Amino acid sequence: MTRAATKTPTDRERVLVIACGMIAREVLAVKEQHGLTHLDLTCLPADFHYYPDRIPPAMEKAIVEAKAAGYRHIFAGYGDCGTGGMLDVVLEKHGVERVAGPHCFAFYQGAKAFEAVGEGDMLSFYMTDFLCRQFDAFFIKPLGLDRHPELIADYFGHYEKVVYLAQTEDPALDRVAENAARRLGLAYERRFTGYGDLPAALDHAVWQPA
């Protein structure tokens, strides 16, 4: 985790977002687009995606450190993210809100859109801009598929398609997602989502505090 910087006096109270490293770039993009100049960001490791049990204690530690640094307003850049409600227990204890929804795949699509496609996507393997950039580092190498491609069927055989939830229009990332689908032997679908519900959530977190 990067260390939260100590506050400096400003016209408005600064707000700290403690986010998953998988959405750091997107939080900063929304900050710039929406002029959220009094938003600060610190991130927990992106690979907690694989270890959701590590998220609640790491979040609690980050919140305690942030409060010690002087932050009164903190927001969690997470869905539930596989913690089975345990993240919410920590956040409720400290009076911290989070992005609504089960995970970033949901809030990128928007809650209503995700509910509408949820059943049809049960056999879909989601990718985002981050996961396209980190496909080999996050999936191929940790699973040993670079050395044992025959294991692809074991890991991905129960999926039917790759669904790329695109936050930006980037042909290079499109090619990564298309190649990933071919490599995994799956059908391919691209959905441009932009940042989904994230901008509204950050706007609320930043402008709601008095």
Instruction: Tell me the average pLDDT of the chain.
Output: 93
Contact 202, 24 (CB under 8 A): no
Residues comprising the chain, all counted: 210
Is the per-residue pLDDT at 10 higher than 80?
no
Alpha-carbon distance values, 96 to 50, 54, 76, 92, 141 (Å): 23, 18, 7, 6, 36
Q: What is the pTM of this model?
A: 0.90
Quote the tokens at residue 148.
Answer: 């044992």
Q: How many CA atoms lie within 13 A of 104 on its CB side?
A: 26
Q: In this predicted model, what pLDDT tens digit does every residue of 59-96 receive, in sequence order?
A: 999 999 999 999 999 999 999 999 999 999 999 999 99
State the Cα–Cα distance between residues 205 and 129, nearest whole angstrom. 24
Four-CA torsion 181, 184, 185, 190, nearest 10 degrees: -20
**What are the residues facing 43 on neighbouring strands?**
19
Contact 36, 204 (CB under 8 A): no
Domains of the chain: 15-103+196-207 (3.40.50), 111-192 (no CATH)
Per-residue pLDDT band for 3 (boundaries 50, 70, 90) equals very low
Per-residue pLDDT band for 12 (boundaries 50, 70, 90) equals low
Contact 131, 99 (CB under 8 A): no
Higher pLDDT, 160 or 3: 160
Higher pLDDT, 210 or 50: 50
At a CB cut-off of 8 Å and minimum separation 6, what does 10 contact? Answer: 38
